[in-house]
Structure 1
Amino acid sequence: MRWWLLAVAAALSGATGVARAQGVDPLDARLETRDAERFAQLWHDSDGAPDAPALQRNYLDGASDGVAVFTPHRIESAANLAAAIAAEPEIYRDAVERCLPWAAQTSDELRATYLGFHGLLPETELPRVSLVVGANNSGGTAAPGMQVLGLEVICRLSSDEQQFRDIMRRFYAHETVHTWQDIDYDSLGPVASGIANILAEGTADYLAWLVTGRVPDPARDAWARQHEDFVWGEFAKDVAAYHDPSLNDAGRRAIARRWTGNAGHPPEGWPSELGYWVGMRIAEGYVANSGDRHAAIRELLTLDDPMAIVQASGLANRIAPTAR
């Protein structure tokens, strides 16, 4: 588990005085909108121009667990949030006036998604889901027992209500998987850790595909299948580069950024977050080739040996070298 998730888990169970969620009944699942509604009230009260002190006092202070999860690396601070709002106020106006009323109506999508997960992995605890307003830099993240979605980003991606509902369901499914993942990156070598990061995102997309019946990001999927030889060739080249003992941490981060963490800023000519697609295909192959598909899916949530997963996926010949 990444270090910042440990910090968030501690906050949820200690500093906030709220214990980790014990699991949501899929039939009772609902989107928690309190934080987004508090932001909307502040937006209206400030005529669409809340400053940092007002955001701190009337939004960040007294917020729910969702804002606590979303603050590190996303909201960051009241000053950062105020700057994001001032830079693109129309994005926030659209989120408050157009998409927030839609969001409140997506509990049907959430319940359907959770019923699918309950059938697939009945022993897992389903997380709470919180809707917040962030600094226009993230559509969603997860911590143990909770997933948190960024209203302004999802709204920005949505041209109409149906697309908004579809994207919300995709996020519900993808981020749920992240709440279950418990990956010890520190115990993996640099190559295996890089593969594990790709597989973590790909597994979330693969399981989202299973429970929703729709491939996440169909446009990315279509592009990648049309350019499949190119994609695997570029990925194999970067895996080989990771094996270079002279490669430093900055070099590894630059390679990783070609595949994940580049939403809106991918390599020229590529769709965003192409590593999600690579990881999804590896996860799909691993489960398809397994004698026990349910056990294989559970193994994808821990990734104790990501290189073994690559080897068993049927795609190892496209991702050489795969040595540790």
Structure 2
Amino acid sequence: MRAGDGQTTARRWIAAVGWLLLAGRAAAGPLEVAPPPPADALTVEIHAEDADRFARLFAATGGKPTAAQLQKGYLDGASYGVAVFTPGRIGDAARLAKAVARDPAAYDRAIRECLPAAKAAVTDLRAIYLALHGLLPERKLPQIYLVFGAGNSGGTAGPGAQVLGLEVLCAQDRTVDGFRAILRRFFAHETVHTLQRDPATRAPEPLLTGALEEGAADFVAAIVTGQVPDPERAAWAAPREAGLWSEFRKDMAKTRGIDLGAEPEPKAAVAAYLRWLGNYGNAPPGWPYELGYWIGMRIWQSYYDAAPDKRAAIRAMLDFEDAEAVLERSGYPPATVRSDASISPPQ
């Protein structure tokens, strides 16, 4: 997921309905801790110091740490990762203590199963970072931090860093292999978001802009991992592409020129946006979640196929400012899709 001001205000609200802010931007003012240096793709490590300190405290307190114990044994003297994760997520020691008391089993499993698996994923991280560095050698790669939060966020990004909320990510899949797959997606897709330049925050086309941001991250992630992001979603969407594009265009019209974070809330525009983005666990009936990612990736595929300079096309995915111009240059939809608009998705 990507987050940026006007559009992102809606996404932060959307996260309460969706997947608990899996990697939205940190919603905070300037941090008091200096950001870390860029990661070296060949030697990058996964910073687990904070997670290890939490695990030791959890064990020492029988899984029932108090707010005072969490403050002294975890939050005080913590790393940049916890500093990024505290505003809007951990909040404070009291909030964290309540979250742990509410679901100690989730923290216990994350410590026993997912923390060791996350540490072992450094080989996956290096492989993905080496591929990203080869593709985009001028871009600075973020450091990765493992932390435990208040059960409300799977991850976020701050200057020079990505931070993973282990107790939330661990709950997304009951198997270690599934958890490792989640991490690989995070390392690829979410890292691309840290490399992207924020488009205009109140874009004339907020839905199209959001789909292109997410589609670009999926497109680049597919290149560096060799895997199709969410193959089940792609398999469902491909035979319905014409109908989906017809629906997407209608919702583009409903969101065009509207600030999704405005007060009072533009409910019709937000509802149109939510059909495609920010709807993990709450997609329209019969639809896979986050179909806007797939639409955006299809537009970028057309753009990339038509581009004589493929590296310039990749850079455009990171630096684009005008979503409508991208759509026009892409030539999307292809003639086969335009001629088959009778296929309509379930409502």
Moved more, 217-226 or 301-310: 217-226
Residue 240 in 1 paired to residue 240 in 2? no
Kindly provide the amino acid, as one letter, of the partner of residue 320 in structure 2: L
Choose which of 17, 23, 36 in structure 1 pairs with 2:51. 36
Identical positions, percent: 46
Report the equivalent of 1:206. Answer: 219
* Equivalent residues of 2:36, 2:143 under 8 A apart: yes
Q: In the alignment, which of 187, 203, 207 is matched to residue 172 of structure 1? A: 187
Q: Which has the higher helix share?
A: 1
1:220 has 2:233 as partner: yes
Aligned residue identity for 1:222? A
Does the aligned pair in 2 maintain the 1:140–1:150 contact within 8 Å?
yes
8 Å contact kept, 1:136–1:153: yes
- Highest RCO, 1 vs 2 (Cα 8 Å, sep ≥ 6): 2
2-structure distance, mates of 1:231, 1:48: 48
Instruction: Pick the aligned partner of 1:69 from 84, 103, 118.
Output: 84
Aligned twin of 2:332:
315
After superposition, the Cα gap between the structure-2 partners of 1:47 and 1:174, relative to the gap in structure 1 and judged at 3 Å, is same
Indicate the residue corresponding to 1:260 in structure 2.
Answer: 277
1:153 counterpart (165, 168, 188):
168
SS of the residue corresponding to residue 130 of structure 1 reads: strand
Question: How far did residue 102 of structure 1 move?
Answer: 1.2
TM-score (norm 2): 0.80
Q: Report the Cα distance in structure 2 between the residues aligned to 1:28 and 1:152, rounded to whole angstroms.
A: 26
Deviation at 1:202, TM superposition (A): 1.7
SS at match of 1:25: coil
1:103 aligns with 2:123: no
Does the residue aligned with 1:215 lie in a helix, a strand or coil?
A: coil
TM-superposed CA distance for 1:165, in Å, is 1.9
Gap change, CA 1:226 and 1:298, over 3 Å in 2: same
Map Cα deviations across residues 233-274 of structure 1 (whole Å, 9 max, x no partner). 332221121238799743233332222222223233322222
**By how many angstroms is 1:28 displaced?**
0.2
Q: Is 2:39 the partner of 1:27?
A: no
Distance in 1 of aligned mates of 2:300 and 2:63: 44
Find 2:207's aligned residue among 194, 197, 201. Answer: 194
* Bigger shift: residues 221-230 or 118-127: 221-230
After TM superposition, give the deviation of residue 187 of structure 1 in Å: 5.8
Check conservation: 2:203, 2:257, Cα contact below 8 A: no
Letter in 2 for 1:284: Q
The residue aligned with 1:250 is 266
**Which consecutive unaligned segments of at least 5 residues does structure 2 have?**
9-24, 339-347
1:255-294 alignment, distance < 5 Å: 255-294=272-311
Pick closer, same or farther for the CA change 1:120–1:226 going to 2, 3 Å. Answer: same
- The match for 1:10 is 30
Q: Do residues 136 (structure 1) and 138 (structure 2) align?
A: no
**1:35 and 1:132 in contact (8 A); partners too:** yes
Quick one: distance in 1 between partners of 2:79 and 2:150? Answer: 17
Gaps of at least 5 residues in structure 1 are 320-324
CA 1:87–1:124: 2 relative to 1, 3 Å: same
Give distance in 2, aligned partners of 1:275 and 1:316: 15
CA distance in 2 between counterparts of 1:233 and 1:81 reads: 45
1:59 maps to 2:74: yes
The equivalent position to 1:127 in structure 2, one of 142, 165, 168, is 142
Shift, 1:226, TM fit: 4.4
Structure 2 residue identity aligned to 1:196? T
Which whole-Å CA distance do the structure 2 matches of 1:85 and 1:276 have between them? 33
* Secondary structure, aligned partner of 1:104: helix
Q: Secondary structure at the residue paired with 2:157?
A: strand
Aligned residue number for residue 101 of structure 2: 86
Letter in 1 for 2:114: C
Q: 274-283 or 203-212, which moves further after superposition?
A: 274-283
